Amino acid sequence: MQTSNKIRMAISTCPNDTFAFHGILDRKVDFLGLDFEIELLDIQQLNEGLFQDRFEVAKASFHAAAVLSERTLVLPSGSALGFGVGPLLLSAKEGASPDNALTSPEGTRTLCPGEFTTAAMLFQLFYGEAIGLKKTRVAHQLFSEIMPSLKERSADFGVCIHEGRFTWAEEGLFLVEDLGTRWERETGVPLPLGGILARRDLKQETLARIQRVIRSSIVYGLEHREETLPTMRKYAQEFNDKVLMAHVDLYVNDWTVELGEEGRKALSVLSQKAIEQRIMSPSQAAIEVYQP
């Protein structure tokens, strides 16, 4: 069990995280006696770090949260979920789709941004038949390298997240499907992308303080939007301020401040989908949200 006030915390470099955690990164909020040691990493590195017990608290894909449900709790603040926020399945060629590709030993190649990302889970959920029939092979690549790989034709399809959601058309790529829209249509709940996971072995008092600091940082960012821009620019792949703020407007919402009942319902649906895909065992604990 954690006994010191030192908290190893990691978040992603995407604008919604650097916006939400600006208050912590620049020490604009009260740390309540905690000593945060912060790393900024790619989402798959965050997922892997949690599997390796490198962090007490970290942003992670809800796919990883499903796998780690018996070791972690989701904090009520800091999540990215909503309507119209899902990853996009893109193609290097207009009119192409993994479903209409020819079955072959090689198949087409689809890039996902990491094995335990929610983006990879959605592709598996909606294109499992194409994978099973060997119409496409899934490979994993750093999210920022997926669109360049499509442009170079070293891959046929790619599941795009983060800033690329806003820039794919000007890069000359083609939309196959908005995976978030399909999730919404089939489930009726907002799409849970990622959240802040904390280890279950943390003391309750420590968990409560961490939650309060994170919530304060999110509220601070929402109240000082312009002040967050240098922090976002420092880590972003895209430096256009309008794109950065569009990213924030899409991914930082009321559910980021507090998951609430609808956010918790979305996580329950995700747990059920994970069981259907055998990502979680039926006997495994569902994704659980910490109750302060």
Active site annotation includes 162: yes
Identify which has the larger pLDDT, 242 or 290: 290
Residue 175: the pLDDT is 93
Q: Is residue 49 exposed (0-12), middle (13-18) or buried (19+ Cβ within 10 Å)?
A: middle
Strands 57-61 and 6-12: what pairing? parallel
**Of these residues, 22, 63, 162, 247, which one is catalytic?**
162
Q: Which CATH number fits domain 6-83+190-276: 3.40.50.1370, 3.20.20.70, 3.40.190.10, 3.40.50.300?
A: 3.40.190.10
Out of 48-57, 85-94, 253-262, which region has the weakest mean confidence (pLDDT)? 85-94
pTM of the model: 0.85
* Phi and psi, residue 282, nearest 5°: -55, -25
Identify which has the larger pLDDT, 277 or 52: 52
What are the tens digits of pLDDT across the range 5-52? 899 999 999 899 999 999 999 999 999 999 999 999 988 889 899 999
Strands 35-41 and 136-140: what pairing? unpaired
Residue 282: the pLDDT is 86
Q: How far apart are the first and last CA of the chain?
A: 18
Identify the band that residue 164 occupies on the pLDDT scale cut at 50, 70 and 90: low
> Under CATH, which architecture does the 88-187 domain have?
3-Layer(aba) Sandwich (3.40)
Identify the band that residue 2 occupies on the pLDDT scale cut at 50, 70 and 90: low
| Residues in the chain, overall count | 292
Judge whether 127 and 60 are in contact, CB under 8 Å. Answer: no
Identify which has the larger pLDDT, 149 or 107: 149
Average per-residue pLDDT in the chain? 90
Q: Where are the domains of the chain?
A: 6-83+190-276, 88-187
Quick one: average pLDDT of 234-255? 85
Judge whether 150 and 92 are in contact, CB under 8 Å. Answer: yes
Residue 21: the pLDDT is 97
Residue 292: the pLDDT is 82
Alpha carbons 234 and 18: distance in angstroms, whole number: 9
